């Protein structure tokens, strides 16, 4: 399935070829015409597989600008689904990169897949194209995420992270400050919910659906207790910090009762809707929520929402899970140099500023946050710089997706009362050890 090492495969291909040859004839004609056209103009044709952001037009506009700046290179845009369909994006990349025919030349990938494609030799190390100076322009956490086995196998595009959104109007009403610790958050939520007398009002919403987002929330709770899933290649998920974090997540639902049991089914949107509908005090979510909360068509809490870094335990520090999509260069690309030119263009300061202004995605170059125009037009985003500087990656390992599945299943079991907290963590730890080998 992964490559052409199995000799039987070629046999299969020949057979299939004979069988559907007739059907293929028509479109083979189309293909020949296209390649003839390419030869005539002596152009390099690149393909760029990028996730859909807000509309297709912004990305296309940037690509056209690239073509204008680089005569002789044409770029075809393959639109992949949005990040909330990240599994489909991953599937597309697994299929197309493993086909090893050089398409797409440049692709966008969730930061958690970078070591995976890098370790499998499917994305090209970029070290010949870049210098240490280039790397220094970006958030250090992102460069760490883009590096596997000492090689730079991805290049930053945009960054995201988890924050605490809260209802400023409600906190003000009861003279409460934005919480810095989990205790403060708990007390504030309990006080407001009991005094408001709104049966629909929830204290604190986060995401515990058995999905990738559960691991993101976990990284944040765990970091806020001073722990981490892996320390180097040692599994440290089931130490005291781990137990404290998972026990707290469990308590939020069943003991402190400021989080409804429904979070067990929530990913990003189901948790966002009650908050912008005016029915939650606190929400953990990504940066996309802020603009929605300020949009009168979407939100009942316009101008009533503020954000802070997530709270922490006495022993830990506020932690934001590092997210975002980054660029990759297909190892089978027939035009790696032109392809890197495209990556360079797409991640240039000018392009990053443009994304930040036009489609509100956060720059990975630290200098862009100091841009006066951006400061004026999107102060919210500029305010995030501090959070992104300290954001925490999920375990950086080629087998991360496999680890994530084990964590999703184990954490969900503990939160749904199928197993005890300690038991769940020990079980996850054993699975992670087996995966690392």
Partner 1 sequence: MRHRYSEHLFAFALLLPAFVLIVAVALMPASETLWTSLHKVSMILPGSDFIGLGNYERLLRDGRFWNAWRNTLYFTAASVALETLIGLAIALVLSQNFPLRGLVRAAVLVPWAIPTVVSSRLWGLIFNTDFGLANYLLRSAGILESNKNWLGEIGWALNVTVLVDVWKTTPFMALLIMAGLSTIPGDLYEAARVDGANMLQRFFQITVPLLLPVMLVAVMLRALDAFRVFDVIYVMTGGGPADSTEVMSTLTYKILFSATQFGYGSTLAGAMFITLLGVSLVFLYALRNRLEVD
Partner 2 sequence: MATTPSSPALLPVSGEKGAVTVGTRSLSSRRAVTILGKVLFALLALLIVIWSVGPFLWMMITSIKPDRDLATLPPILPTEITFNHYGALFETRPFYRYIINSTIVSVATTLVCLLIGSLAGYAFGRLRFPGRLPLLLAVLVVSMFPQISIVAPIYRMFQQRGLLNTYEALIIPYNAFALPLAIWILTSFFRSIPVELEDASRVDGTTRLGALFRVILPLSLPGLFTTAILVFIAAWNEFLFALTFTTSIDHQTIPVGIALLPAMYHVPWGNIAAASTLVTLPLVVLVLILQRWIVQGIVAGALKG
Q: Are 410 and 428 in contact (CB under 8 A)?
A: yes
- Per CB under 8 A, does 269 bind partner 2? yes
Query: Among residue numbers 168 through 207, which ones bind partner 2 (CB under 8 A)?
Result: 200
28 is an interface residue for partner 1 by CB under 8 A: no
Site string for partner 2, 57-86 (x = CB under 8 A): x--------------------xx-xxxxx-
- The option from partner 2, partner 1, none interacting with 5 (CB < 5 to 8 A, set by class) reads partner 1
In the complex with partner 2, the residue whose CB is nearer, 14 or 233, is 14
Closest approach of partner 1 to the CB of residue 38, in Å: 30
- Residue window 276-305: x/- pattern of binding to partner 2, with contact defined by CB under 8 A: xxxx------x-x---x---xxxxx-----
Out of 6, 10, 11, 28, the residue judged to bind partner 2 by CB under 8 A = 28
Cβ-contact 331, 128 below 8 angstroms: no
Q: What six digits make up the tokens of 263?
A: 């979070």
Tokens of 287: 């940066």
Minimum distance from CB of 97 to partner 2 (Å)?
11
Assess 6 for contact with partner 1 (CB under 8 A). Answer: yes
Residue 82 binds what, of partner 2, partner 1, none (CB under 5 to 8 Å, by partner type)? partner 2
Tokens of 121: 């030799």
Q: Is 412 in the site for partner 1 (CB under 8 A)?
A: yes
Among 99, 418, 433, 434, binds partner 1 (CB under 8 A): 418
The answer for residues whose C-beta is within 8 angstroms of residue 307's C-beta and 6 or more apart is 163, 164, 165, 166, 290, 380, 383
Does 268 sit near partner 2 (CB under 8 A)?
A: yes
- CA–CA dist 406, 273 (Å, integer): 28
Considering only 6, 10, 11, 13, the residue that binds partner 2 (CB under 8 A) is 13
Per rule CB under 8 A, is residue 264 in the interface with partner 1?
yes
Q: Toward partner 1, which CB reaches closer, 90 or 365?
A: 90
Rg, Å, the chain Cα set: 24
What gap in Å lies between CA 267 and CA 101, rounded to an integer?
36
314 burial via Cβ count (<10 Å: 0-12, 13-18, 19+):
exposed
Question: Exactly one of 35, 76, 87, 194 binds partner 1 (CB under 8 A); which one?
Answer: 87
Of these partners, partner 2, partner 1, none, which one is at the site of residue 299 (CB under 5 to 8 Å by kind)? Answer: partner 2
Using the minimum distance from each CB to partner 1, give the nearer residue, 396 or 405.
405
Query: For the range 171-175, what are the long-range contacts, defined as Cβ-Cβ under 8 Å and sequence gap of 24 or more?
Result: 171/281
CA distances from 306 to 4, 177, 274, 290 (A): 54, 12, 16, 8
Total of residues contacting partner 2 (CB under 8 A): 56
Residues 8 and 15 sit within 8 Å (Cβ to Cβ): no
Q: How many CA atoms lie within 13 A of 95 on its CB side?
A: 7
Q: What is the DSSP string of 352-419?
A: HHHHHHHT--EESBGGGGG-HHHHHH-HHHHTTHHHHHT-BPPP--TTHHHHHHHHHHHHHHHHTTSS
Token reading at 196 = 């408001």
The correct pick among 47, 165, 209, 242 for binding partner 1 (CB under 8 A) is 209
Shortest distance in whole angstroms from residue 289 CB to partner 2: 8
Residues 235 and 2: their CA atoms lie apart, in Å, by 29
113/396 Cα distance (integer angstroms): 9
Binding site for partner 2 (CB under 8 A): 1, 12-13, 16-17, 20-21, 23-24, 26-28, 30-31, 49, 52-57, 78-79, 81-85, 88, 91-92, 94-96, 98-99, 101, 200, 268-269, 272-274, 276-279, 286, 288, 292, 296-300, 361
Binding site for partner 1 (CB under 8 A): 1-3, 5-6, 8-9, 12, 15-16, 19-20, 87, 90-91, 94, 98, 116, 119-122, 200, 202, 209-211, 260-265, 267, 270, 273-274, 277, 279, 398-399, 401-402, 404-405, 408-409, 412-413, 415-416, 418-419
């Amino acid at each position: 399935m992964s490559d052409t090492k199995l000799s039987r495969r070629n046999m299969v291909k020949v057979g299939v070829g004979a069988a559907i040859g007739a059907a293929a004839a028509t479109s083979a004609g189309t293909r020949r015409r296209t390649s003839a056209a390419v030869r005539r103009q002596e152009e390099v044709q690149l393909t760029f597989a990028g996730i859909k952001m807000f509309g297709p037009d912004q990305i296309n506009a940037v690509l056209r600008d690239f073509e204008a700046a680089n005569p002789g290179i044409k770029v075809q845009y393959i639109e992949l689904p949005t990040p909330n369909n990240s599994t489909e994006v991953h599937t597309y990349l697994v299929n197309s990169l493993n086909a090893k025919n050089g398409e797409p030349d440049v692709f966008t990938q969730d930061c958690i897949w970078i070591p995976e494609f890098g370790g499998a030799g499917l994305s090209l190390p970029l070290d010949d194209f870049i210098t240490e100076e280039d790397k220094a322009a970006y958030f250090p956490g992102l460069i760490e995420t883009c590096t596997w086995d000492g090689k730079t196998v991805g290049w930053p595009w945009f960054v995201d992270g988890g924050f605490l959104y809260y209802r400023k109007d409600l906190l003000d009403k009861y003279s409460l400050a934005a919480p810095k610790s989990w205790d403060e958050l708990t007390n504030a939520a309990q006080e407001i919910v009991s005094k408001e007398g709104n049966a629909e009002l929830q204290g604190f919403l986060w995401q515990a659906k058995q999905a990738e987002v559960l691991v993101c929330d976990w990284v944040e709770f765990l970091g806020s207790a001073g722990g981490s899933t892996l320390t180097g290649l040692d599994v440290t998920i089931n130490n005291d910090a781990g137990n404290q974090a998972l026990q707290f997540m469990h308590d939020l639902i069943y003991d402190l009762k400021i989080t409804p049991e429904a979070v067990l089914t929530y990913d990003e949107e189901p948790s966002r809707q009650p908050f912008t509908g005016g029915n939650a005090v606190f929400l953990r979510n990504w940066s996309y929520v802020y603009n929605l909360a300020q949009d009168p068509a979407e939100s009942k809490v316009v101008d009533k929402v503020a954000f802070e870094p997530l709270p922490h335990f006495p022993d830990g520090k506020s932690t934001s899970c590092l997210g975002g999509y980054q660029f990759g260069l297909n190892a089978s690309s027939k035009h790696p140099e032109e392809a890197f030119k495209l990556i360079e263009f797409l991640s240039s300061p000018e392009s990053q500023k443009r994304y930040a202004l036009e489609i509100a995605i956060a720059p990975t170059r630290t200098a862009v946050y100091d841009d006066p125009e951006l400061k004026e037009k999107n102060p919210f985003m500029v305010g995030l710089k501090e959070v992104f500087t300290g954001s925490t990656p999920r375990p950086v390992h080629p087998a991360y997706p496999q680890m994530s599945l084990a964590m999703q299943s184990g954490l969900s079991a503990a939160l749904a009362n199928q197993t005890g907290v300690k038991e769940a963590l020990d079980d996850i730890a054993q699975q992670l050890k087996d995966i690392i080998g």
